[in-house]
Structure 1
Amino acid sequence: MSNDQINEKGSHEFREGTINDKPPTLTHSPTMEEMTEHYTKFPNAWSHVRYRFREFFAEFFGTMFVILFGDGVVCQVVLSGSTKVAPAPKGEYISISFAWGIGVAIGVWISGGISGGHLNPAVTLALATTRRFPWKKVPVYMLAQLLGALLGAAIVYANYFHAIDAFEGKGVRTVAGTAGLFSTYAEELTMSASAAAWFDEFLGTAILLIGVLAITDQKNLAPIPGLLPVALFLLITGIGMAFGMQTGYAINPARDLGPRILSAMAGYGKGVFTFRNEYWIWCPVIAPFCGAIVGAFVYDIFLFVGGDSVVNSPNAVARAHHQRAANAARPGFPNAIEDV
């Protein structure tokens, strides 16, 4: 048999098999038990830990990314201003505003679908006060945010360690020199009055909460969930551009306190806490808490109509009306019928 005959025979057999063979058919549809037979919610020991602390981890890493971008850009812009560090400046104030906005957007993308993406103790406290966020979660969220901010600042410090040495001097760390790379310090010329510095942080955080509640209000013009971080990017960038000059727009107690603790540990000393009569506690910590609560109440009192706000809790008259309506709608008992 020639090669052509062999090839023709093999090709014919292949065509017959392709045409005549029928695909196997299922004898029955798989049951739910069969489909989930090998599935387990906790495939290993770590999955139990992750499930229990997932919201904590989300707030931790989300806040860490805020600081990575935020403190990172401040270090790059300020340190590159010295020819000892870089031959030319690497950014301007607008770079700082944009990077802080990007940091918040990335942080919310990381955490928003898991924990809600608070990333800010002032936001957490305001939501617990006005929107019935569980109070038992408040300390957990705040601790995660503080630790995440501290770790983020530590990573930035390690990355720019040698640049800071070149800027200030090897091993030199001063509050007046580079402590402002990590935490906020009010401008001496424009913020000589303590009350003015306090109001600046209060105002910035109130604006933040009004904006946050507006862009998450489903009865307003809320974006689709995947685009929420973009709206927050615009909000944070706008606050930085409009209100960032005088106090550095902390508007987030964890954003300021976590890096401040890190700077004290890194050699800046107690001066980071004694600056202008304990400025750190009343301006970048207390003022944002107050501003957040006031901003949340302003939005809920005048604009929000949802039932999850304490402002919209039904009063005694509304509760009585609801009860009467429920009683009227309740069907009566059917009459008994005897079988004949």
Structure 2
Amino acid sequence: MKVDVVGNVDGEPVAGNGQDLEQARRDLQPAAADRRDATRGLAIGFLIRELVVEGLASFVVVFWSCVAALMQEMYKTLSFPMVCLVVALVVAFVLSWVGPAHFNPAVTITFAAFRRFPWSKLPLYVAAQLGGSLLACLSVNGVMRPRDEHFYGTAPMAGHGNRLPFIMEFLASAVLMVVIATVAAGSAGKTVAGVAIGAAVGGLGLVIGPVSGGSMNPARSLGPAIVLGRYSGIWIYMVAPVAGMLLGALCNLTVRRSHHIVAFLCDSSPARASVGIAGAHANAVP
């Protein structure tokens, strides 16, 4: 007895016995594999673009931060507030130019810890950020040719030990993360976000700079330390920004969830009541 089976191939009906349908399925397998390969290639292309943007953004921020610090060291043409202003403008420009780049390992680690960034990309992003920082410092050496006594990295200022610089970097990084998370959760455009974060970086650097140098970015400190071979207090700039930003993200998340819960309790509308507290704070951003 002959059994007819009707199938679909690319939306077109195909009638025949079981062997014909099986052959049609085998014919479709290469096409499906090609689509998977194309999707994988597209994903790799996007990842490469993201890494290039991270490396380039880190290069620009670290390069001009180091140049401004070196101009103050070598020629005394910039006061420390002017150095902070330069850094703020550079950060604002980079974020307005490339969009939501991190260029800071502490930011990337914090977003990953709060599930706003995939852990699988974390090592690649950090490598791109540190690579951009190292290349920026090598470029600074090539362009400015500083002498051995000139230092454009970050280190605890004389007379303050390690405790106070650590606390300052920790607290400033926490505040900076609150600003970043607030901007990320809002609907502000790239320009507004860049200005807000740039102003935060410059303002916080102005406050804590006389104590710690105002880094808040492990890449900003590690690049010059490696190129110049000066590692005094480097652990502060590796640990404090990460710990501070984790605290800042936690505080921001707690405040946002509390706000949503209060709004839920104060709003008795049926539509709101159907959402529930869990849905009210599901979109909270660290």
Distance, in Å, in 1 between the alignment partners of 2:255 and 2:140 is 41
Distance, in Å, in 2 between the alignment partners of 1:149 and 1:98 is 20
In the alignment, which residue of structure 1 is the partner of 2:33? Answer: none
Matched, 1:73 2:68: yes
Question: Which of the two has greater helix per residue?
Answer: 2
For 1:142, which of 126, 132, 141 is the aligned residue? 126
| Alpha-carbon spacing, 1:258–1:304, altered in 2? closer, same or farther (3 Å) | farther
Secondary structure of residue in 2 paired with 1:198:
helix
For 2:87, which of 100, 108, 130 is the aligned residue? 100
Secondary structure of residue in 2 paired with 1:288:
helix
Question: After the TM superposition, which residues 295-314 of structure 1 pair with which residues of structure 2 at under 5 Å, given as runs?
Answer: 295-303=248-256
For 1:247, which of 209, 212, 220 is the aligned residue? 212
In the alignment, which residue of structure 1 is the partner of 2:57? Answer: 62
Residues 61 and 90, structure 2, Cα contact 8 Å, conserved in 1:
yes
User: What code does the residue aligned with 1:158 have?
Assistant: G
Residues 62 and 110, structure 1, Cα contact 8 Å, conserved in 2:
no
Q: Could you tell me the TM-score, scaled by structure 1's length?
A: 0.61
Distance, in Å, in 2 between the alignment partners of 1:184 and 1:236 is 15
Distance, in Å, in 2 between the alignment partners of 1:117 and 1:305 is 29
Question: After the TM superposition, which residues 106-145 of structure 1 pair with which residues of structure 2 at under 5 Å, given as runs?
Answer: 106-112=93-99, 116-145=100-129
Question: After the TM superposition, which residues 237-276 of structure 1 pair with which residues of structure 2 at under 5 Å, given as runs?
Answer: 237-264=202-229, 272-273=230-231, 275=232
Q: Deviations over 1:133-180 (max 9, x none)?
A: 11111111111100001111111111110xx24xxxxxxx2xxx22x3
* Structure 1 residue ranges (4+ consecutive) displaced by more than 4 angstroms after TM superposition: 47-52, 304-307
For 2:166, which of 193, 198, 219 is the aligned residue? 198
Distance, in Å, in 1 between the alignment partners of 2:47 and 2:156 is 40
Question: After the TM superposition, which residues 1-340 of structure 1 pair with which residues of structure 2 at under 5 Å, given as runs?
Answer: 51-81=46-76, 90-112=77-99, 116-161=100-145, 164-165=146-147, 173=148, 177-178=149-150, 180-181=151-152, 183-189=153-159, 191-192=160-161, 194-218=162-186, 222-264=187-229, 272-273=230-231, 275=232, 279-281=233-235, 283-303=236-256
Residues 62 and 220, structure 2, Cα contact 8 Å, conserved in 1:
yes
TM-superposed CA distance for 1:197, in Å, is 2.0
Identity of aligned residues (%): 24
Q: Deviations over 1:241-267 (max 9, x none)?
A: 222210011101111112211112xxx
Distance, in Å, in 1 between the alignment partners of 2:217 and 2:127 is 13
Residues 218 and 241, structure 2, Cα contact 8 Å, conserved in 1:
yes
**Stretches of structure 1 lacking an aligned partner (at least 5 in a row):** 1-46, 82-89, 166-172, 265-271, 308-320, 323-340
**Stretches of structure 2 lacking an aligned partner (at least 5 in a row):** 1-41, 261-273, 276-286
Distance, in Å, in 2 between the alignment partners of 1:131 and 1:50 is 23
TM-superposed CA distance for 1:223, in Å, is 2.6
Residues 58 and 110, structure 1, Cα contact 8 Å, conserved in 2:
no
Q: Could you tell me the TM-score, scaled by structure 2's length?
A: 0.72
| Alpha-carbon spacing, 1:58–1:304, altered in 2? closer, same or farther (3 Å) | farther
Which structure has the greater CA radius of gyration? 1
TM-superposed CA distance for 1:50, in Å, is 5.3
Distance, in Å, in 2 between the alignment partners of 1:217 and 1:48 is 25
User: What code does the residue aligned with 1:289 have?
Assistant: V
